Structure 1
Amino acid sequence: MDEPSTQVLSGTVALVTGASRGIGAATAIGLARLGAHVVIAARDDVGLTATDDAIRALGGEATLLPADLTKGDVTDQIGISLYERFGRLDILVHAAATAGRLLPVGQIDQTDWEPAFGINATATWRLIRACGGLLRDAPYGRAVALVRNGAPAAYAGVVGASMAARRDLVLSWAAEVARTRLRVNLFDSAMLAAEPAAARLVAMSLPSEMRHGTVVTGRTDT
């Protein structure tokens, strides 16, 4: 799926988490290419700088937000910071996630469980709480979260359970804002590489995108 070539997102503000590499970085660059001012958030300062350099090389604008989203007080302040700096938030792409280690359920311990739920589930809840009001107030609000969709699999209990929590949180949020201008969706990148997955995420963030409350799955044959 090709990205539009116009500046259709000029004047908007987008927040992309997990923007230091992979799908998050590629999505941030794609949104900036369409004119959005992109707030790029991640723990990796070096990766964020690389994403910022790529955005500025194409003439885009970005604000770096070094942030560990597993720290609740940090995530809780994001909405306030965005309002104070920009007075708005139009797009949220929550790409930050972790797969954790592959382990038998009986061997999962706290050091595996807490980081996975911290970023995959708890940070999702806190982002919704922190940014939901700004997104609802936007002329059109778009929120997309990456998710791992599929049946439970052996040794994938941590990522499966934490991503199921993310999925249900986001779909509940979607149902709650169904009668507003805000459109909320999930995206499973399936077997897509970073660039085509990012193109799908960018497309789902556009004003014309009307999906709501669904899980969109990337396919290598479409």
Structure 2
Amino acid sequence: MTQTDLDGRLALVSGASRGIGRAMALELAKAGAHVIATARTTGGLEELDDDIVKAGGSCTIVPLDLMSPDGIEKLGGVITERWEKLDILLANAGSLGVLTPASQVKSKTWHDVIGVNLMAPARMIRAFEPLLLASDAGRAVFISSGAASSRRAFWAPYAASKAALDALVESWANEHVNNPNIRINTVYPGALRTQMRSKAFPGENPDTLPEPSALWPTIAELVSPDCTRNGETVKFDG
């Protein structure tokens, strides 16, 4: 794959303090994008900012709890005032919840998992669509999961929320099927060496899994101004 040139482009990454989000934020910055990095963990964002600067890139960190009632919307307002557009949205933040029988899932778990995995992306669509449309090549990528279709036992909240996310994103992409200036896709990252993966599969040896940075060529294609794919679920096979 040729080097992706994102010089001068503005990218927003949620869940950027660790795992896939952190790795992709760093790669986006290395490719020339100015990265707006959001997460709840300020310390993790500051470390990311340091690494981006060391790599010669630029970053704006925004501590943000996606469950706050108006945080996403306020961020949309700030981006509108400061940059007037958004070229790349990478909606990565996710919540696994608790792996337990569906009959034992507490209402708070449902609220939290659905809130982060479905409601937050839905609010991002509302807040950031005008900014993506203001770009000459708006690109939106949502990190989903194969759990949306495998629907394994004891994964009900996560599987349900990701299946709903897939439906949301595909429906939104179909709204813009005739607008080549915005492309919207979903990615199944598969098994990568992340904290969430360790939580889901505690007996697995993480050294057998690829680092999150291995996902970059897949993401790079989808955020490139040259990308023509839309409404697809792209599966990374490692």
Question: TM-score range with shorter-chain normalisation?
Answer: over 0.9
Deviation of 1:204 (Å): 1.4
Choose 67-76 or 117-126, whichever is displaced more.
67-76
Deviation of 1:202 (Å): 2.5
Structure 1: gaps of 5 or more residues: none
Moved over 4 A (4+): none
Match of 2:137 in 1: 140
| Residue 209 (structure 2) pairs with residue 210 (structure 1) | no
RMSD of Structure 2 on Structure 1 (CA)? 1.2
Match of 1:87 in 2: 84
Match of 2:61 in 1: 64
Deviation of 1:121 (Å): 0.4
Choose 200-209 or 142-151, whichever is displaced more.
200-209
Match of 2:198 in 1: none
Question: Are 2:84 and 2:134, in contact at CA under 8 Å, matched by a contact in 1?
Answer: no
Structure 2: gaps of 5 or more residues: 193-209
Paired residues for 1:1-222 under 5 Å: 4=3, 8-149=5-146, 150-180=149-179, 181-192=181-192, 193=210, 194-220=212-238
- Specify the code of the residue in structure 1 equivalent to 2:219: L
1:36-87 deviations in Å (ceiling 9; x for gaps): 1100000010111111111100110100010001113111222111111112
- SS in structure 2 of the partner of residue 98 of structure 1: coil
Question: Are 2:88 and 2:140, in contact at CA under 8 Å, matched by a contact in 1?
Answer: yes
- Specify the code of the residue in structure 1 equivalent to 2:228: M
1:13-40 deviations in Å (ceiling 9; x for gaps): 1000010011101101111111111000
Deviation of 1:151 (Å): 2.1
- SS in structure 2 of the partner of residue 14 of structure 1: strand
- SS in structure 1 of the partner of residue 6 of structure 2: coil
Instruction: Count residues in correspondence.
Output: 217
Q: Name the CA distance, whole Å, in 1 between partners of 2:2 and 2:90.
A: 16
- SS in structure 2 of the partner of residue 172 of structure 1: helix
Question: Are 1:30 and 1:199, in contact at CA under 8 Å, matched by a contact in 2?
Answer: no
Q: Name the CA distance, whole Å, in 1 between partners of 2:90 and 2:64.
A: 15
Q: Name the CA distance, whole Å, in 2 between partners of 1:199 and 1:18.
A: 19
